[in-house]
Amino acid sequence: MAKIPVVIYNSFHHGPALGALGMFVNNSRGVMYTNFSLLPACRLYGFIGGLTGTVSIGTLTAIAIERYHVIVYPLSSQRSVAHLRIAIVFVWLYALFFSGIPLLDIGLGRYVPEGYITCCSFDYLNPTPRAKIFLV
């Protein structure tokens, strides 16, 4: 509910509520795009969102795998703390790698404003093959 005024403002003014830095209009598709993705704030916001989201998904996956082993193999020995630490380190390294690729500007992904230009995230709407490779 708190974002509704920002969304309404962005819709009427065709840009972010905090200013029109880096804005341009692409009339070929009749849709407004921004060069907002080049701003460090957008890239930082996208990186932190991508990192925390990926860590969250990875942590839930690690918990599910650990619970699976406990249920399917109840009489086997418990997993050690070292195994769990390795799983946590792997999840964080994977998340850093996956979220860091768009920061490198190698063409496999980028952070762009999404929706009502209120936040930045992975460019999951880009139809190019390189963007699809990054998402898969």
Verdict on whether the full-model pTM lies above 0.75: no
The reported pLDDT for the residue numbered 100 is 86
Beta strands in the chain (DSSP E): 111-114, 119-122
Tens of pLDDT along the chain (136 residues) come to: 555 676 666 666 555 555 544 333 333 444 444 455 556 777 788 888 889 999 999 999 999 999 998 899 887 777 788 888 999 999 999 999 988 888 887 777 777 777 766 677 777 777 777 767 766 6
The reported pLDDT for the residue numbered 6 is 63
The reported pLDDT for the residue numbered 35 is 56
What residue segments make up the domains of the chain, in order of their start? 32-135
From the DSSP assignment, how many helices (H) and strands (E) are in the chain?
A: 4, 2
The Cα–Cα gap between 20 and 17 comes to 8
